[in-house]
Structure 1
Amino acid sequence: MASTVEDTGTARPVPAGSRFGGSGFGTAARPVRPTGVPLRTRSFFGGIEMTVQTVPDGYTTVTPWVLSHDTAALIDYLTDAFGALELPGSRFVGADGRIGHAEVRIGDAIVMMFDIDPTIPAPPAFLRLYVEDADEVHRRAVAAGGTSVTEVTHLFFGDRVGRVRDPFGNLWWIQSRVEEVTPEEMERRLVDPEFVAAMAYVQSARFFPEQPSAE
């Protein structure tokens, strides 16, 4: 099976790959889309040529992974907290019962996830979520079982920002743009006591619970 990519009229060979990268389903190998250039791939399967879109509909250039020991429970939390929708047909379950791949849509973005080896600590993911009402979504994320790391705070660049740690240790920045701030006003706010205090508050927060004492 071979593929070529067309961009500005020059075709170059690219490795074939699967979109299910990082979860045991292969490694994705996609060309980077140049700005303003709609890439198309000419692929040959069994001697039949077909043209495909290199970035599937609904996907953006960057798609985050969230690794967990309980992906099913993580999906339930994201559904309750952020209105996530699991993509039909995206969940693959292995013979051991662990989820090897799943995808959810939150707003206009897709988040991928899978169960990792239970003997390996799950690394925390850090994600920013833009929403219409940061206060309401922050409350909902906490009510669903998350822990508030910082309450929603109006910051100097024009966003209201709160942070929640979900039950699986992932950090979510929950933000709403509430005003457009000029560079001049932003510079003024950097020394405004109200905004200085607000930034000091969010910067002083601990992302994760303190480790148990060794004593």
Structure 2
Amino acid sequence: MKLPNEHQAVMPYLMLNKANEFYAFTRTVFNAEETLRKLRDDEKTIMHSEIQINGNTIMYCDATDEWKPQTANLFIYVEDADITFKKAQDAGAEIVMPLNNQDYGRTCGVKDPFGNTWWITATNE
């Protein structure tokens, strides 16, 4: 199977209110890089956009009357869960699960201002 560059076989596709602000959040918290952006005819509404976080793609768009908001739970490995947790809070995320140590790593959960829950984890290695 041949996949387009920068794509994986399974990728989340989020339909969000304030999709442009979602990109700003992911850039600030997870160092996301936008790889594609297509706007609707009004030149404001995101019809389709893609970001990369550590080589993984998340697709998203602005929700519309036809395509209602659809958010997700996303599990993400990071280098330092404490730093990422602080960045997420500073960027407006709500704490779902405080930082704690588990057998699989240092972990926490935050809900971003767009309704997505991020399960942030740094491994014990």
Regarding TM over 0.5, the answer is yes
By how many angstroms is 1:77 displaced? 1.0
Which residue of structure 2 lines up, in the alignment, with residue 132 of structure 1?
A: 79
Q: Which amino acid letter does the alignment assign opposite residue 64 of structure 2?
A: D
Structure 2 equivalent of residue 68 of structure 1:
16
- Do residues 167 (structure 1) and 89 (structure 2) align? no
Superposition map of 1:37-186 within 5 A:
39=1, 54-87=2-35, 90-96=36-42, 97-118=44-65, 121-156=68-103, 158-179=104-125
Tell me how far apart the structure 1 counterparts of residues 122 and 91 of structure 2 sit (CA, whole Å). 20
Q: Deviations over 1:103-152 (max 9, x none)?
A: 01111211100112158652221101101111111111111111111111
After superposition, the C-alpha distances for 1:31-86 in whole angstroms (9 at most, x for unaligned) are xxxxxxxx4xxxxxxxxxxxxxx212322211111110211111011111111111
Structure 1 or 2: larger strand share? 2
Larger RCO (CA within 8 A; separation ≥ 6): 2
- Indicate conservation of the 8 Å contact 2:15/2:68, yes or no: no
CA contact (8 A) 1:103 1:112 kept: yes
Q: Is there any run of 5+ residues in structure 2 with no aligned partner, and where?
A: none
Size of the aligned set, in residue pairs, is: 124
Distance (whole Å) between structure 2 residues aligned to residue 169 and residue 133 of structure 1: 23
SS in 2 for 1:91: strand
Asked which structure has the greater CA Rg, the reply is: 1
Determine if contact 2:94/2:111 at 8 Å carries over to the other structure.
yes
Give every structure 1 segment of 4 or more consecutive aligned residues whose post-TM-superposition deviation is greater than 6 Å. Answer: none
Structure 1 residue 162: deviation in Å? 0.4
**2:46 aligned partner, one-letter code:** I
User: 1:26 — aligned with what?
Assistant: none
Checking the alignment, whether the CA contact within 8 Å between 2:15 and 2:67 is kept in structure 1 is no
Q: Report if the CA contact (8 A) 2:99-2:106 is conserved.
A: yes
Aligned pair in 2 of structure 1 residues 66, 86: CA closer, same or farther (>3 Å)?
Answer: same
* 2: CA distance, partners of 1:76 / 1:169: 15
Q: Percent same amino acid at aligned positions?
A: 30
